[in-house]
Amino acid sequence: MPDKTDKQTGVSSVQNWIHILSDPTRIKIIKTLSGDRSLCAKEIQSNFDLSQPTLSHHMNAMVDARLVIATKVGRNVYYKLSKSGIRSIILFFESLLDESAETKARGEALSNKEMSTRLSGTKKTPMLPKPKSIISSPELPDGNIIKDQKNKKKNKVKFKEEKKSKKKKKKK
């Protein structure tokens, strides 16, 4: 697991797990690796419509989170599901269920009345008023400006051509 920021909950590792497991492709890869079998990257790739670099990216993320174990054999990398990594995730979520049961037993959970009284103290944000008048769009210039610009370019080209022809005449 990555370094834990909070020793009790391992917030950064939990965030990392949730981030990794939020990608449907990674969930499918984990399902493919289930059953205590090691698969080569090419075998995993054959089950998906992914490029090799994309698969490698997904696999590296899962290896970094210690959800998958990578073993290099020659030119191939074989991947296997990490039982300890998966157990860590399961234990974390089970601990949440245990903690919520403990808080209810101690009466620390808020009742509906307490929640409504706490929420009633919050302020509602006001709605924005409707505009009083419609803002008109700026007037667009008529097409003459564009035509004038094109004519200027044509005139420049004609002027250059005339200059060239005069130079040629002088040389003769």
Structural domain boundaries in the chain? 1-109
pLDDT number for residue 5: 43
44, 33 in Cβ contact below 8 A?
A: yes
pLDDT number for residue 128: 61
Of 42 and 5, the one with more pLDDT = 42
In this structure, whether the domain defined by 1-109 belongs to CATH 1.10.10.10 is answered with yes
| Residue 13 clears pLDDT 70, i.e. is over it | yes
| Residue 148 clears pLDDT 80, i.e. is over it | no
For the stretch 45-54, contacts whose Cβ atoms lie closer than 8 Å and that sit 24 or more positions apart, written own/partner, are: 50/25
pLDDT tier at 126, thresholds 50, 70, 90: low
pTM for this predicted structure:
0.52
pLDDT tier at 152, thresholds 50, 70, 90: confident
Place of tokens 């990674």: 26
Of 90 and 161, the one with more pLDDT = 90
pLDDT number for residue 147: 65
| Residue 48 clears pLDDT 60, i.e. is over it | yes
pLDDT tier at 105, thresholds 50, 70, 90: low
Percent of the chain with pLDDT over 70: 63
pLDDT in tens, 52-85: 999 999 999 999 989 999 999 999 999 999 998 8
Terminal-to-terminal C-alpha distance of the chain: 87
d(CA 24, CA 44): 15
pLDDT number for residue 9: 44
Helical H segments across the chain, by residue range: 11-21, 24-33, 41-46, 52-64, 83-106, 112-120, 144-171
